[in-house]
Structure 1
């Protein structure tokens, strides 16, 4: 009866709009269908739209219409990037859980035979997390600061390691290339954020952003693996001294400078565009003074952290410094790899096969899908092998 009344109300609205000469889409007969179609045509999707899709998918799953339910879950995944910023700001725990649960739900519905009981269970969990967040709320300076702190810390760690290396080598030109890369990444982040929020439809901007994060993240992983291996090769004091001697009067090799530029630019670009879009989404629900206070205070904290990390790192002995820098870079490689593959999954470019036995650890960028788990384990084995091989080589040279 409830569903019949809902459909009757929608039909009444549809005919009323038609009689007034308004453009309507007769190809979709449900709220969920109209939500997906409207979003694709460029209207701004809301969290309420996302909840409507999930409720419709749940009704289909209860009716054992697994294919229709799966289609609506896929529509929800396509819509998700447009609303995830609101969820992540409001409830980071629910944000992480929903990103895992939506791929799980799709897997349950598309399995043979469909596991509708499990699908309904995860849909209920998602709805319970999202419904309270649909209420109007205002943000504070703390919320604004938290975004920049969370997104900026990873980029700061990469920059701090690279800048500490440049300072320790005594090569001022290397530092300039690193800062130039960071500045380039920051400018590109702003440009992309403006393009995504003003020239592209909300759904497209979300999926494009996820695609951008995934691609730039994977490129950064390759570059950081190279830089990490290079840093570790200098952990032997004799090797470092030979490098410094060869570099005197010739600065660094041009290829090394471009690598440092690219890594710093990608580290900023990957986080910067997302941060800017989050702030654009937050702006209507926060006072300008609170937004500026939050951004300003977070910037000061990040600058202090970067200064402290660089200063502390430079004072370390040669071996300890390079081992620390290498481990830090390798940690970010592991995390970026998982997050980048996950971004491509959310963008719909890669499948997601979930398993309850796989770990889900946000600070390691680990998600319970085989597509993220297997590459992360493979790169972990490679990094450990690189460390052990270089340590054995260093011990022989001493």
Structure 2
């Protein structure tokens, strides 16, 4: 089989004919990712900063910002190395790497989304506890805590963006959209910190978590299609349905749905099955872990001594 011909005819390569998604679509999807991930990261930083300010340890702020800066640099390096590393490869090799990278990104992002679904209810308390210990250990420990707390979110963002950027184009527009989203998240974080706006973080993490699940499902189907194209997975010619006659992929809604969620008018059977299974299973686990996190918080807030009250002592009799 001529894989190069299949690559060109399938339309799934990031070098696909027709120009691919519009600049607006590429930026819009990545901006949403940047907004969600940036606001999540901003909340983490906000908790750390607020804690050291309230405990009158402003001297630790420089270590927090150093850790944040290091985590941001790490995120950019991971994204650029993986994303632009494919530009020096042949189309077949680049498609293979893009497909594998998409599957790896989905795996790690899924883990992080499920972790956050349970941890979001008590992450503030965990961060404050960790910062208390780090302050006692010294500046390097504070820097390390900030780096790990922000780097965890940043690494998730980098991998998610690799999968997204590979699925829409090979240029800089997705990265620019990510920056726009992050800047918007910074503004929102500052407003939240100063009390200008209020946000129900539990609701925020729930809806954005569900959004990320759908985005990851689209990236997963992109990876499946890419690996079908290069022959690693079967079923490239087994089309589940084709609505090209009624669904205009070049329209505004087609470019938005295609750019953000990888919706295409002619998915394969394997793509449809994988998408359904992923969304159903991960969403069910997401809500189950969220309920478990809330139960854990409820148990923490109970009075520490729930043992039966001791019997009242018998009053001593006055000696006669």
Q: Answer whether contact 1:210 1:344 (CA < 8 A) is retained.
A: yes
Residue 165 of structure 1: aligned partner: 44
Contact 2:14 2:167 (8 Å CA) reproduced? no
Offset of 1:279 from its aligned partner?
6.4
SS at match of 1:327: helix
Please tell me whether the aligned partners of residues 82 and 206 of structure 1 are also in contact (alpha carbons under 8 angstroms).
yes
RMSD: 4.4
Change (3 A) 1:253 1:220: farther
Q: Which has the higher contact order (CA 8 A, sep 6+)?
A: 2
How far does residue 281 in structure 1 lie from its aligned partner after superposition? 6.5
The 5 A counterparts of 1:213-252 are: 213-234=102-123, 248-250=135-137
Q: Is it true that 1:345 corresponds to 2:224 in the alignment? A: yes
Tell me by how many angstroms 1:201 deviates. Answer: 0.9
Measured after TM superposition, the shift of residue 312 of structure 1 is: 3.9
- Three-state SS of the structure 1 residue aligned to 2:188 is helix
8 A Cα contact 1:334 1:380, kept in partner: yes
Cα distance, 1:241 vs structure 2: 6.6
Provide, for residues 46-68 of structure 1, a one-character-per-residue CA deviation record: whole Å limited to 9, x for no partner. Answer: xxx52xxxxxxxxxxxxxxxxxx
1:1-398 aligned at under 5 Å gives the runs 36=2, 49-50=8-9, 76=10, 80-84=12-16, 86-89=18-21, 143=23, 146-170=25-49, 172=61, 173=63, 176-198=66-88, 200-234=89-123, 248-250=135-137, 257-258=147-148, 260-272=150-162, 275=165, 301-314=180-193, 322-327=201-206, 330-348=209-227, 369-396=272-299, 397-398=301-302
* Matches of 2:187 and 2:74, distance apart in 1: 24
Aligned-residue offset at 1:161: 0.9
1:158, distance to aligned residue in structure 2 (A): 0.9
Partner of 1:127: none
Pair 1:239–1:266, CA change in 2 (3 A): closer
- 1:272 shift after superposition: 4.8
Contact 1:221–1:336 (CA under 8 A) maintained in structure 2: no
Deviates more, 1:204-213 or 1:326-335: 326-335
Measure the CA separation in 1 of the matches of 2:175 and 2:151. Answer: 26
Q: Deviations over 1:242-299 (max 9, x none)?
A: 66655653566968853641431241244258648966679xxxxxxxx9xx987x57
Contact 2:217–2:275 (CA under 8 A) maintained in structure 1: yes
Q: 1: CA distance between counterparts of 2:226 and 2:187?
A: 37
- Runs (5+) with no aligned partner, structure 1: 1-32, 51-75, 91-142, 283-290
- More helix per residue: 1 or 2? 1
